[in-house]
Chains A and B, each alone.
Chain A
């Protein structure tokens, strides 16, 4: 019974939410909003449990003088300070004044303590991104090398240098790419990898043909869009990057459908604390 009731509630609510997605008629049109409000109310009550747990653990740390108990003391002091300041509206002209109005102690604490602390933590991200990128872009194998080249191209393309490098001479990037591919094709030829050699040769011919065609168009004073680093960056972002991201998104959506069905049908019960009846 202890498990049947939650399972039944889950099934009924799950089915109602499914209906809500397809039925715009009242009362289904407001169910989502009302259930969200109910959830938020529940969360507020659950916060008492969370706050209680926080106080209990840190008071225990201080009482036992465990290593790092000083941090616990700071936590407890901070917790009760903001609780008292918020509940009694310190610094407010009257009790009717909103808690977040300028001049209240709660506001001052939020504006001059919490926000700078949040900004500090968030700004650390820049340094972590640098170290993570350094590790990810080391050319350890073929995939990492492709990743490195793509990342470097995007970095270049997002700056002024990217535009300046390829704009001074039309078709410069195409010629550079063709030269690089020709070197790789030469290695393929030497190692008798005929399929790769033929494929690369075709790509080189296509790229060079396009470049030459572009020059012929430019000669008659018409416009032609030669490949540039910014346009290459746009292509990387719009084609391979977006395709990969969409593939992941499709997988996620299917995963969510499957997981939701398992929960609604009661096949997945581990979130209740047990897998058995």
Chain B
């Protein structure tokens, strides 16, 4: 019956008009639609999404599909055609008129409706458009629901939980007085030497905490090192200069330096202008710091924090004036620049370990030990994954392939 209708319409359309706007929509038997639509809730979301998917069983060549939604299933079907033929007549009231969600190509079989409200019933239907024919689907009801737990992140929760637990466990172990071994970090060992050199030469020390703001954990790591550096500088009676490019970093930096001078017993040597604001502008900041480096010729430069394109501009200028340079960042793309231009570089995790390493606080050292458990898990997984992938290639066994894919897609997303 459906085929007959389509053929009739094709003949009719070919004979009289090629203008699709005048084509009537073929009303299909709603019990046996040729396009079957399903509407299901988007999993693991805040209740804003419904996935509309369809199976096209019609036997004519579809050019595109148009997806419609409404808040009432009783909206009459001809409104669709009306909205198609004359866009100006398309009303925004979803209780009275079908609203066009999107038009997609003939190879697409699903679309997500993003503007759903949890618990409200939405109705969807599809219009399949051919060169001559237009076919409608059945109308389906769909609900969205907000989830309390994102199941796709279960593996992250478990792995993160294990690592967090190990960190807390080793902090407790360290609190009880157990001695923990931490390997030497050359860059941090060299801090005292670098400050001593500047003191002997009577030249200032420049500390650059990066261009990140206080919401960046690298900036926080840099500021904790600033605390140690400024305390040592206060003890040695050297001159410190901290140009910053964020106002919040300036206020926090001042607190840290002030406290360091107090701890060192030299509050009179503290000057508020040690930590000074230059500009938020990336290259303006570089120009300012480079100007300082070339004019004051500091003996030692520290670069600790988040750096971007300015890393090499700063480090090369420091290198040119012959300063001892110690850098630390967790930006992988900037590490090669620091390694080539600086005397010592704290690579990634060493920056975050610095405060624990320098303070020698057993609780902080314990957290480093907990971090090692995470590394152990990663190492074991890499070895297992590599072996399994190799065996899968050799044997072509599907189980091994499944396991490798599971690791890739479920565990390490």
Contacts and interface: CB of A to CB of B under 8 A. Distances in A.
A274 interface: yes
B256 interface: yes
B213 A26 contact: no
Contacts of B47: 25-26
Query: Majority SS of interface residues in chain A?
Result: helix
Contact of A245 (B246, B256, B332): B332
Given A24-B45, A43-B247, A261-B168, A122 B283 contact: yes
A125 interface: yes
Contacts of A125: 309, 312-313
B381 to A, nearest CB: 10
B291 A71 contact: yes
A270 B277 contact: no
A62 interface: no
Contacts of B363: 267
A121 B289 CA distance: 12
Contact of B352 (A23, A24, A135, A255): A255
Interface string A25-44: 11001000000100100110
Contact of A271 (B160, B224, B286, B316): B224
B371 A254 contact: yes
A135 B337 CA distance: 11
Contacts of A272: 255
Interface in B293-352: 295, 309, 312-313, 315-316, 319, 330, 332, 335-337, 339-341, 347-352
B221 A259 contact: yes
Contacts of B347: 248, 251
Given A26-B46, A271-B220, A21 B374 contact: no
B259 A274 contact: yes
The listed residue with most B CB atoms (<10 A of its CB), out of A118, A124, A258, A267, is A258
A29 B46 contact: yes
A16 interface: no
Interface residues of B, number: 85
A275 B359 contact: yes
Interface stretch (B12-20, B84-92, B142-150, B187-195): B142-150
A65 interface: no
Interface string B164-177: 10011001000000
A26 B146 contact: yes
Interface stretch (A98-106, A126-134, A215-223): A126-134
Contacts of A254: 163, 349, 371, 374-375, 378
A5 to B, nearest CB: 15
B277 A275 contact: no
Given A133-B340, A273-B258, A275-B359, A258 B352 contact: yes
A161 interface: no
Query: Majority SS of interface residues in chain B?
Result: helix
B213 A24 contact: no
Given A43-B213, A132-B341, A25 B147 contact: yes
Contacts of B273: 57
Interface string A99-120: 0000000000000001001100
A265 interface: yes
A71 B296 CA distance: 14
A127 B45 CA distance: 49
A24 B146 contact: yes
B217 interface: yes
Contacts of B147: 24-25
A261 B280 CA distance: 29
B147 to A, nearest CB: 6
Nearest to B368: A258
Nearest to B219: A271
B215 interface: yes
A100 to B, nearest CB: 16
Contact of A250 (B215, B282, B378): B378
Given A49-B251, A135-B340, A271-B224, A118 B45 contact: no
B227 interface: yes
Given A39-B215, A54-B277, A261 B146 contact: no
Contact of A49 (B164, B247, B312, B332): B247
A249 interface: yes
A235 B75 CA distance: 59
Contact of A23 (B150, B217, B284): B150
Interface string B354-367: 01100101011001
A68 interface: yes
Nearest to A134: B340
A117 B283 contact: yes
B168 A248 contact: no
A127 B332 CA distance: 21
Contacts of A122: 283, 309
Contacts of A267: 171, 361, 363-364, 367
B287 interface: yes
A108 B263 CA distance: 50
A118 B283 contact: yes
B355 A270 contact: yes
Nearest to B370: A258
Q: Which 8 A-B pairs have the closest CB atoms?
A: A50-B247, A255-B352, A255-B349, A273-B255, A29-B46, A121-B283, A46-B247, A136-B340
Interface of B: 44-47, 146-150, 153, 157, 160, 163-164, 167-168, 171, 213, 215, 217, 220-221, 223-224, 227-228, 246-248, 250-252, 255-256, 258-259, 263, 273, 276-284, 286-287, 291, 295, 309, 312-313, 315-316, 319, 330, 332, 335-337, 339-341, 347-353, 355-356, 359, 361, 363-364, 367-368, 370-371, 374-375, 378
Given A23-B149, A256-B352, 20 more contacts: A22-B157, A24-B45, A25-B46, A42-B248, A46-B250, A117-B284, A117-B287, A118-B283, A125-B309, A125-B313, A129-B312, A248-B348, A252-B330, A252-B332, A254-B374, A255-B330, A257-B160, A258-B370, A259-B352, A262-B355
